[in-house]
Amino acid sequence: MSTIHDTDVKAILPFEDLDRASIPIAGGKAANLGESIRAGLPVPAGFCVTTAAYELVSSGADLAPSLIALAETPPDDTARLAEIAAQIRADLLAAPIPDALARSITAAYLELGDGATVPVAVRSSATAEDLPFASFAGQQDTYLNIVGAEAVLDAVRNCWASLWTDRAVRYRATNGIDPRSVRLAVAVQRMVAAEVAGVLFTANPLTGRRHQAVIDASLGLGEAVVSGMVNPDHFVVNTATGEIVERRLGDKRVAIRATEGNGTQRVEMDGNKNEACLSDEQVRALAKLGARVEAHYEAPQDTEPDIGTHDSPVAAEGILSGTPASGGVVSARARVILDPGGAHLEPGEILVAPSTDPGWTPLFLTAGGLVMEMGGPMSHGAIVAREYGIPAVVGVPDAIERITTGQRITVDGSAGTISTGPQSDS
């Protein structure tokens, strides 16, 4: 990706270049997205506008006097805090984005769609965020379904300004965080057009019980669940056994949907307390995914999964299930092949096929994983996958319909699941 430098830190970095140690330059949200990708977890593609970009723009806005005044204001003087915060926001919104930086952001955005304008989520990622002693949940802004380079630049600028909303300034003051120490990065991520979304806790937040995953989910984008504007479906899963030990269905009367242009809209639903928005299979698969996240971070986590349904195969981060055939986990681009004759597989790509016979064997030399619609653990594809030591899941209904060439997927050959990311435009 194109980059511009401020001191030694790149202003634009792909998620793949980030990990949990990147918080000083990428903020908590973007750093954790990068860490998750490195762990092989299903994360839609994206990039980070780092704190170097924020520092470049904020230095031109001459914020130093306001930051000093803010640091000297008592936390209980909310009127004065709000006054200074408003001035900082105005100064940031008025500051120009340097041409070189704007070009770099635009180039990185267009790269996400191979030159086409695609919907993205533009999320604030503060350096004082997702910390052990303070979550900073919802303190900075997120903009969903942003389409077009100019709209992305506007959303990035608004994210920078949201570092200084009244609520964010009060929150930091109450937690004793020096306003001169905070920076903001911005995560720009391929939009997940989910039919169902929600929140997953890998440990029960109400009882503290480990080995109990808690899932709240509802129709549409996850904003409705996170913001508390809907009564979602609620599931508690024993992650050791897969048993769904609690199920409480909400009325799901509100959904947040992407509009045809930029942004989202609130949609009033008829509501249905008699039908869950997730199947039992999807609930268990999400619990397994949460267990993987917790194992990687070695501590309970909360995530915001977006789930596809059988009625909407193009939704991203859907979870498909089949029969475990060869152990291991791999995350890579998929290639759907219907006939091995003349077919080509790039090294490391995941082969997605209806079934295989000995004529397919040469493709296994470069395959990073295997997904088959048909077959069992003793079928040709499963046996060859084990021989070559690549993860494989077989007997996956509608795999060819629900996975496209170029789509990033994660195959867990031990659990028998495939987590799918956004479908490719190519």
Q: Is 380 a catalytic residue?
A: yes
Distance in angstroms (rounded) separating the CA atoms of residues 322 and 372: 9
Angle between helices 64-71 and 78-94 (to 10 degrees): 160
DSSP 423: P
Q: What is the residue-wise DSSP string for 130-159?
A: SBTTB--TTSS-EEEEE-SHHHHHHHHHHH
Distance in angstroms (rounded) separating the CA atoms of residues 152 and 416: 38
Contact 52, 11 (CB under 8 A): yes
Would you give the distance in Å from CA 106 to the centre of its chain? 20
Helix%, strand%, coil% for the chain, nearest 5: 35, 25, 40
Q: Which of 211, 234, 310, 380 is catalytic?
A: 380
Structure tokens at 218: 């509802």
Which single residue is written with the structure tokens 């990033």?
Answer: 408
Distance in angstroms (rounded) separating the CA atoms of residues 269 and 254: 5
Checking DSSP bridges between strand 350-353 and strand 369-372, what pairing results, if any? parallel
Segment 400-405 long-range contacts (CB within 8 Å, at least 24 positions apart): 400/336, 400/338, 400/352, 400/353, 400/354, 400/373, 401/313, 402/308, 402/313, 402/318, 402/320, 403/320, 403/334, 403/336, 403/352, 403/371, 404/334, 404/336, 405/333, 405/334, 405/335, 405/336
Structure tokens at 118: 């695609």
Distance in angstroms (rounded) separating the CA atoms of residues 308 and 320: 9
Annotated active-site positions, please? 380
